[in-house]
Amino acid sequence: AQKVTQAQTEISVVEKEDVTLDCVYETRDTTYYLFWYKQPPSGELVFLIRRNSFDEQNEISGRYSWNFQKSTSSFNFTITASQVVDSAVYFCALTPNRDDKIIFGKGTRLHILP
Amino acid sequence: SAVISQKPSRDICQRGTSLTIQCQVDSQVTMMFWYRQQPGQSLTLIATANQGSEATYESGFVIDKFPISRPNLTFSTLTVSNMSPEDSSIYLCSVNVDLDQETQYFGPGTRLLVL
């Protein structure tokens, strides 16, 4: 069975603090893809990153970084020096194959307080 | 990536009526997907729409309630039929870009409120 768990329902931090959003996944497939999407209040879903199961390198993009650990089935997302514009719902997601449906976690609502 | 537009962006409808949502992509894509996001919830796949074949519906969703058309490689519609307040949701379409088939890109969504 495929499953994505985002245990943090809601997080509030003060601007400029660092914050980590947790994501734990379950799959029996050896090949799979993991994603993070951002959903700001406007409602659109913005693609942030994709990782395949064979690439455990961590990635950094500006203030965003991702830590993928197969040993713990986790794909955590860290925002450094958070800004108010980072306030959104963040979804972690999993798909076992290309052209297949994506299984989404329940999302973490992030509030960045000025 | 792909540029995806949806119409309408939002609507308020009366129960018992139907609404058709359009999804337009700026490039030809094989796979298009329709998702529902109920208030405060995550996304749930309604169906997968391939051009030239009938849509494939997920468990809990039926064609009579959510008929889908896919007339060409850049366009799809989702109809929400005989609406009830429980259908109030954001409806999103997404696509796999053929050169990047592992990633789904999403449209801006259609916010539907059923009274």
Q: What is the pLDDT of residue B61?
A: 96
pLDDT of res. A10: 97
Kindly report the average pLDDT of chain A as a whole number: 92
What would the two tokens of residue A33 be? 């893809």
Instruction: Indicate the residue type of A34.
Output: L
**Mean pLDDT calculated for residue range A87-92:** 97
Which one, of B31, B22, B30, B110, lies nearest residue B69 by Cα?
B22
Q: What are phi and psi of A70, to 5 degrees?
A: -65, -30
Please list the residues that pair with B104 across neighbouring strands. Answer: B96
Expressed in percent and rounded to 5, the helix, strand and coil fractions of chain B are 5, 55, 40
**CB neighbours (10 Å) of residue A37?**
24
Name which of A104, A97, A72 is nearest A6 in CA terms: A104
Buried/exposed B64-94: b ≥16 CB within 10 Å, e otherwise: ebbbbebeebbebbbebbebeeebbbbbbbb
Q: Tokens 């309604």 label which residue? A: B46
A9: nearest Cα among A111, A95, A114: A111
By Cβ distance, the residue of A33, A44, A99 closest to B106 is A44
Query: B54 to chain A nearest CA, in Å?
Result: 16
Which B-chain residues 72-101 have CB contacts (< 8 A) with chain A? 90, 92, 94, 96, 101
**Separation of alpha carbons B99 and B2, rounded Å:** 11
| Consecutive 10-residue averages of pLDDT for chain B (115 residues) | 92 97 93 93 93 89 96 95 96 82 86 96
Which residue in chain A is spatially nearest to B112 when comparing CA positions?
A43
Q: Check residue A49 and give its pLDDT.
A: 92
Interface of A with B (CB under 8 A): 33, 35, 37, 42-47, 50, 52, 91, 95, 98-99, 101-102, 104-107
Residue A93 and residue A32 in contact, taking contact as beta carbons nearer than 8 Å = no
Predicted confidence at residue B84, as pLDDT, reads: 96
Asked if B109 lies within 8 A of A99 by C-beta distance, the reply is: no
* Closest Cα in chain A to B1: A47
